[in-house]
Amino acid sequence: MAEDKPKKNLTVFGQETEFDGILEFTDSLVITGKFRGEIRATGDLEIEKGAVCNVEKMTANSIVISGSVTGDVDAPERVEMCSGSLVRGDVKTARIRIAEDVDFEGQVSMLEKESEINLFSVASDEYKNALVLKSDEPH
């Protein structure tokens, strides 16, 4: 029997919503309106098409951008810039995907993804099999 994962809450800032300030959250957030300020999150963030975010910095586990973001983007897991999005700022992440037709201006810093395996607690063959070479990862 599979273990049930704890459910994550999903919050949506509607198209009419304008938020100005510091936003902190731990689950998932979708912004479809306007945001100005700073985002400090451990959850996942999605900026919908038509949404406008002006930030000093936005930090979340993973960030998917379909709208407009001005400011630095920091996502240890991944950043995805979808077709038609506009991003002005530096990006720090372990994985990035930039679709065609993205208007991006900034620098990308790739973070090293740490192995989720404790190398002192496993056999050497098991550890070797757990390693993924960067050249083997899909681009």
Chain segment 39-55, per-residue pLDDT in tens: 999 999 999 999 999 99
82-121: pLDDT as tens digits: 999 999 999 999 999 999 999 999 999 998 865 454 555 5
**pTM (two decimals):** 0.76
Up-side HSE of residue 128: CA atoms within 13 Å toward CB? 3
Residue 2's pLDDT band, with cuts at 50, 70 and 90, is: very low
